[in-house]
Every structure is written in structure tokens, then in C-alpha cells.
Chains A and B, each alone.
Chain A
């Protein structure tokens, strides 16, 4: 056996040795190669869905004789997105915490039915009826959350039970009848508009907010040593969302209900946007949101860091319940009546929206923005295929295939990254 290696090898100064062994090689940001271009994998993932949505819109627009992106249909599409979108915001928080809620479709049916019963059979006014619907959602969410968090029954089982049971309750309560909405004010929540002027006011506020936030964020990045952002990048970060906002309001306002009468933003879309903003703020800018991601990412570490996992799971199911209540109000108002099978399969749309938007079903990862994109994609597919008169059975097959393919692409991207 060779001996030269026996000499003690002490050839490097200690500091350099310590540095070399401690600086991490894996810190290099993962990149994905596309042809000759390299792009940061996380950025790619975020933009893929945006491009997918644009591609879907362009495809439907040109294959429907340019009806799809006409103001009238676009306005409709947004209204359709609202219900799934509201549910997706709640579902995102549930999934990020590492839970699941399969009952939301049935809760939408039950809460909407109760609101309709309150205003129709009991003769209640608008506000008490709405409150009854939303309170139903919160109560159910609280009950399911408590069973999950304090009795340790897996959420999958609790809410699978809920999926069956709440549907049964509304079938029993309504005796199988469809309950029409008596109050016009109730219907207008789903069918009305806020008017063009309000739309432009909202646009102005949004543009101001986007500019302020982008500037302050790039300042913060510079302060924390992440390097100054190039002027062009900052400009793009302001201009792109501003164009999107102004374009969106313009489209909404240019839909004419009758010649010369401009519609404005549909009420459900306003509600949806408000909830999406609140959801984004709650998840990104509050201790509550941070705790949800920590619980989903590593429950043991979260618990030992002093976070009450049970309270947060309970809270998140209550929020989901409340949002299911809101969604039920929009849904019932839009249809104009509450049928006992309203909302079927909505839970799957909401989960699909989250997953398409990059949420991990293992918990700890996902954003409200992604979930909203996912909801838009799901609604666009529904709307576009209906315009093209695709048979309902075929619509289901295509939606199912696209869901699986979207996640498959994401996983493939992850492996390469």
C-alpha cells in the first residue's frame, strides 16, 4: 500500500478552509434551459400560467369568430370566474395549511338554499337573509375545523362526510324544490353592475397603489442588499399591471347593455376582487398568513415555535366556510333561484384552480395570485367550450385532462430545476 498520503496535509490557511467547507454550493439559483436560453425556474413557473391563460384566450377568441374576447362575453367570463375565484381564495389557505375541504360545493348549495328560504318562505329582508347564508357557511366551517383540529379526524374524511351530509340537508330542507329569489336587491348582487364611473375610480386608485407599492418594494430590496432594480424593470413592473387594470376596466365598461348604456364591472367581480385582495394581504402581510405557511411547511417546527396549530386550522376552516357562504350568495343571485343541486363539483373547481396555480397539496406552498389565475383558466375553459358548443361530457374530459397535464408539466419543470 502506498505511503505518501500518510503525511498530514495541512496546506490551507484555517480561515479559507472554514469558509470553503461552510459556504453552500446548492445556493446557486436553479435555472431551466429552454433551447439556448436559460431562465430562473421559479420565474418560469410563475409566468407559465400567465402565458397558458393568454394562449387559451387567443385560441378561443379566434376559434369562436372573435366572440370570446368581446366585451359582452368577457364580462360574462369574469362574472363566472367570481364564484370559483372566491372559493379558490379560501381553498388556497386551507391547502397551504396542509388541509383540504371537499365540502365547499355542498356548502354553497346549503348556504344558498338557506338564504333563499329565509327571503322566500320566511319573508326575511335582504340583510338577514344574506347573513343567514353566510352564517351557515361559517358554522359549518367551524364544525368541520373543530373536528379536524381538536378531534384529529383527517380533514379529507370530515369534509368528505360534509360533502354528502350538507347536500342531504338542503335536499331535505327544500323538499327537493327550487326556491326562486323574491327580492330584486338579492338578484342584483349576482346580476347587477357598479357603473362605469365607479370603475374608473377603482382604476385610478389601483394605478396609484401599484406605483407606490412597486417603488417602495424596489427601495426595500435595495436596502436589504438585493441589488438595485434596473429602471426598465421597475417601469415594466409598474406598466404591465397598470395596462392590465386599465384594459380590464375599459373592457368591462365598453360592454353595452343597451345602445349607449355602458355596464361597468359586474357586482360579483367587485366582491371577488375585494376578497382576492384581502386574501393576498392576509397570506402575505400578516403574522396569521405566515403561520399558515409554517404549519403547512413543517407542523412540528411550527408547534415548537409557539404557534397553535389547532387554532389556526379552526380559523382557516371558518374563513373557508365564510367564503363558501359569500360564494353561495353570488351563485344564487346570479342564477336567480336556489336549486338543491346548486354548486355541485365546485369543490373540485376550487381545488383544481389552486393546483393549476402552483399550490402544493402537501401544504406550505402556493399563492392567492396563482389560485386566481387557476380559477380564470378553469372558467375560461368552461366559457370557451360552451361558446364552441362542445358537448358537456367532452368538456369534463378536457378539463380533467388539462388539470392533470398542468400538474405534470409543473412536476417535470421541478425535476429539471
Chain B
């Protein structure tokens, strides 16, 4: 708890790492004490993940510059296994558990207790139970991983790391997929581990969490350390200023959108869970959106926001009922193709999974949804496509050499702009945006916000789903709050305060505008 008291347990001095054509880390210095939670923050591409890969042995010894000391001894990891032996455990954003195996098998993956080469199952499950008990996790070690939620899987990862006797635990965006209750459990465990002497490096975009849990905060920018201070000496604005290298003045330029007629209405939309019979993911939700209006949909993870949009768009696996009207006309939508023909665009969440064909060009991605409109019904025209793509690239300020750059090589912000361009090129009347700024840096976020305002001004009706409350409140003319598939609140821009919206989102309160 007192990092200044003694020499740090882990020291990384002057770490540099270059990739062809780019210096990802440029003399980074970082240290960690025992019993400390040290937060590492920075925009995407600042070098956080690269630094942790150096620490975790993913980039082995001679392939980086600088030195790593643990407990005063220099370490030269030539593999991930070496780093693990030295007591370092990295829990990556993409969990590395084997879904088809049990919790116990995962905890002891590759080092199951055995006799004459035969696995001793009783012993394995007994030890696994002990690691889980240590963390007070009420999980049966015989449960298959696929039966656990993401939050519990995360906790199993931690149990696995600790069973390696890890002294240094790296958590890369551990709360990205967790519910609030699961975040509480995780924080409880981290606090316990801190008391036990474990040092933790906590990487997160969520500054409120960083301020809650960490003892110290180091900011990285463009591969350099731009400050390392006790959390108690800092505030959020200072940290953001360091992250972006500038003050984030007016991140949400408040624009009152001029609103026209209602172009889009849905009545009593219900969506059944395709897996669990009888369960409703969305229950009788109705709303409407006007030309030029931004309608925000707030709610916690699992409130049914994405299910609602997917269902309207004709892309939900479950049974959908309800009525959709576009410009007063009742329409039936049973596939994304029909939704697009009726003028709905949908910037889906998780651009790598749902948005982009990563190994194709920017142009191919931009024109995918509107290909027949842009290029020709059957025979494509590269000229027509490139003209449309170049215009979109300029309008949205996509930074790339040309429209023929491969989409997978772009940064998150630019990828998101490509997805946005794809939907604008379908010439929509209504645009759904699901988590449009997830995992992109502050600068790109601002650009996306400016685009949203511009699109609303041009007369598009926009339905915005976001987990970041300031984003929903800052952009929306009206906010709809969902809780467990029901509408629990509707607010105007004036009446939508964070407290009100949160109270409805957690189900504490019901209110209509």
C-alpha cells in the first residue's frame, strides 16, 4: 500500500520495441511494488499491450531493448513459460480458456497432476476446488467453461493465474464484458490479493474504475511514459489530458438538432431467447424517432439493447414479434437485406466480428452493404465504387494511404469510420449505432461524435446505443432506458441526468418523459 516504502518488486527500465517502420515503445520505464495495484492507461496504440507482451515473454528477450528486473535480478524471458515461472501471469482481453473443458481442467491445463502419465482426476479437482475456495468463488470445478458467464470465466482465469503462484498479475481490460455486480466481485478479489502481497497491473479505458481500484496510475502515450503518480494525487481530467496530450474541452458539442416528422416507429417489439425457451430478451418495447433526432438507448449489459436493434433489423436468431413503421408505412422485415431496402442502416457493435471483412480493402468494406446501388446490379464498376469510396473517405476523414488499403491494418477509430461509411453508402433514412465508439481513442471518438451531429443535422433519424452514459447523455435529444428487456424510463435532453437514467437502468425507478 506504500509504494515508496521499499525498492519496487518489478522494474522495467528503458524498454524499447520496434516493429518494421514503427517504434511501439520508446524508452518506457515502469515499476510495480508488492501489494500494489498499478493502473496503466493510454489511448489505443499508446503501447500498453506491447509493454505487457514484453513483460509476459510474448516478445522474447533479444527482440526488445532495455531490461526487466524482478526482486533485483535481471530477467531475460525467452518464452511465455519463462515469464510464468518468474511469477508473471497475464490475463488477456480475449480469454484463453478451453470452452469444452471443465473449470478444473482449465486451471491445470498442461500440468495436470499425474501418475505414470495418467491424470489423477480426484487430485486435480481437489486442488482446483482449493484454488477456487481461496478466492471464495462458488464455482464447481467440474462445470464446463461454456456454462459460465464471461464474468465467471474471468474469475476462473484469475484462479488459474494464482495457482501458478503468480506474484505479478496483469489484467488487460478485465471489466470490458462484466456486469456491475461482476465488477464488484472482481474488485473484491483484487483487494484481497493486494492484501496478500500480489502486485497487479491494471489496464483499462474506464477511468472511474481505475480511480476506484488503483494505487498508482501511469499514462503511456505514443510509446512513452508521460507520468506516473499516486492515484490520490490525480484527477480524471489530468489523466485524460496526459492521454491525449491536450485538454479535452468540449467533447460533446451540444447541438440542438432540428427535428422533422416521425420517420421511424416500432410498436410492442418482443424478442424471445433463441436458447432458453419462454424467456423474453425484449418485452413489448415501443419507440419512435424523428428526422434529425438522436434517440439514445441506455441500459446495462444484458438489458436487451442490442437484441432490440438486431430484431428490428431482421438479424435476430430468436422469434420476433411487433410492428415496424417507416414513414408511416407498416413494413415487414425478416432479413437484413429487407431492412437495408427499407432504409435502415446498422453500425453494429464489435466491428471486427460483425462489421468488417478484415483482410479486404477499405473500398470493398465500404461498398459491401450498398454494392448494388453503388456499383451496378450485377456487373461491378471499379470507377463508380472508387469514386463513392474516396468521397466517403474524405468526408469521414479516414486516415489511410488509399481506398485500397487492407481494412485489418487500420486503427480502431479508422476501422469504425469505414463501418460508418459502409452504412452511409446505403443511403439510409434511419441509422442504428450500437456502441459506435467502443475501444477507440479519444480523438477518434470526438470525430465520430461530430459525424453523428452532422448526420442528424442532414435529416437522418439516429438510434444510438451506448454503454457509456456520458456519450448517450451528451449526444441524444431523447433517452430511452431499458432494464431487462422493458422500457423503464424516457427522458428529454433536459430531464436526463446521470442519476435519473442510472436509477431506471438498474430498475430502481420507472419514469416516463
Are B225 and A24 in contact (CB-based, < 8 A)? no
Residue ranges of A at the interface with B (Cβ–Cβ < 8 Å): 1, 5-12, 14, 17-28, 220, 223-226, 285-288, 290-291, 293-294, 297-298, 300-308, 364-365
A286 lies within 8 A of B357 (CB): no
Contact of B402 among A6, A10, A224, A287 (CB under 8 A): A224
Q: Are B410 and A307 in contact (CB under 8 A)?
A: no
Can you name 30 A-B pairs with beta carbons within 8 Å? A1-B228, A6-B227, A8-B227, A8-B241, A10-B245, A14-B246, A17-B244, A21-B222, A22-B411, A24-B399, A24-B409, A24-B411, A25-B22, A28-B22, A220-B382, A226-B404, A287-B375, A287-B378, A290-B364, A290-B368, A290-B380, A294-B364, A294-B368, A298-B353, A300-B353, A301-B355, A301-B356, A308-B337, A364-B359, A365-B359
Given contacts A8-B242, A26-B409, contact A1 B3 (CB under 8 A): yes
Chain B: interface size category: 35 or more
Chain B neighbourhood of A285, CB < 8 A: 379-380
Q: Which residues of B contact A20 (CB under 8 A)?
A: 222
Query: Please, how many angstroms separate the alpha-carbon atoms of A9 and B233 in the complex?
Result: 16
Please tell me which one of the listed residues A17, A22, A304 contacts residue B336 in the complex, with CB atoms under 8 A apart.
Answer: A304
Find out whether the CB atom of A288 lies under 8 angstroms from the CB atom of B368: no
Does residue B258 face the partner (Cβ distance < 8 Å to A)?
Answer: no
CA A398 – CA B441 in complex, angstroms? 53
Q: Given A5-B227, A28-B20, does the pair A17, B245 have CB atoms closer than 8 Å?
A: yes
Min CB distance B393 to A, Å, is 11
CA distance A135 to B268 in the complex (A): 49
- Give min CB distance, A338 to chain B, whole Å: 36
Assembled-state Cα–Cα distance A28/B378 (Å): 34
Excluding A224-B404, A287-B377, 19 further A-B contacts by CB distance (< 8 Å) are A6-B227, A6-B229, A9-B245, A10-B246, A14-B245, A21-B222, A21-B443, A22-B411, A22-B413, A23-B399, A24-B409, A24-B414, A287-B375, A287-B380, A290-B368, A290-B371, A304-B355, A306-B336, A306-B341
Q: Please, what's the 1-or-0 string for B410-421, where 1 marks a CB less than 8 Å from any CB in chain A? A: 110110000000
CA–CA, A364 to B382, complex, Å?
A: 19
Proximity string of chain B (165-203) to chain A, C-beta cutoff 8 Å, 1 when within and 0 when not: 000000000000000000000000000000000000000
Per-position binary interface string of chain B over residues 317-348, scored 1 when its CB falls under 8 Å from any chain A CB and 0 otherwise: 00000000000000000011101110000101
Are B226 and A287 in contact, CB atoms less than 8 angstroms apart?
no
A286 & B402 in contact (Cβ 8 Å cutoff):
no
Task: Given A6-B233, A27-B409, verify A294-B360 contact (CB < 8 Å).
Answer: yes
* Cβ contact within 8 Å between A298 and B356: yes
| Chain A residues with CB under 8 A of B335 | 306, 308
Contacts of A297 in B (CB 8 A): 357-360
Contacts of B402 in A (CB 8 A): 224-226
CB distance from B410 to the nearest CB of A (A): 5
A300 touches B379 (CB 8 A): no
Instruction: Give the contacting residue for B354; candidates A27, A225, A304; CB below 8 A.
Output: A304
Q: Once the chains bind, are B227 and A306 in contact (CB under 8 Å)? A: no
CA distance A66 to B348 in the complex (A): 61
Q: Does chain A have a CB within 8 A of B372?
A: yes
In Å, the complex CA distance between A288 and B358 comes to 19
CB distance from B276 to the nearest CB of A (A): 20
Q: Tell me the complex Cα distance, A225–B391, Å.
A: 13
Q: Are B242 and A9 in contact (CB under 8 A)?
A: yes
Residue of B nearest to A284 (CB): B380
Expressed in whole angstroms, the minimum distance between the Cβ of A364 and any Cβ of chain B is 6
B243-286 interface code vs A (CB 8 A; 1 in, 0 out) = 01111000000000000000000000000000000000000000
User: Which 7 residue pairs are nearest across A and B when measured between Cβ atoms?
Assistant: A25-B22, A297-B357, A306-B337, A305-B369, A28-B21, A26-B409, A306-B340
Q: Does B128 contact A (CB under 8 A)?
A: no
Q: Is B238 interfacial (CB 8 A cutoff)?
A: yes
Report the bound CA distance from A25 to B337 in whole Å.
36
Of all chain A residues, which has the CB nearest B417? Answer: A22
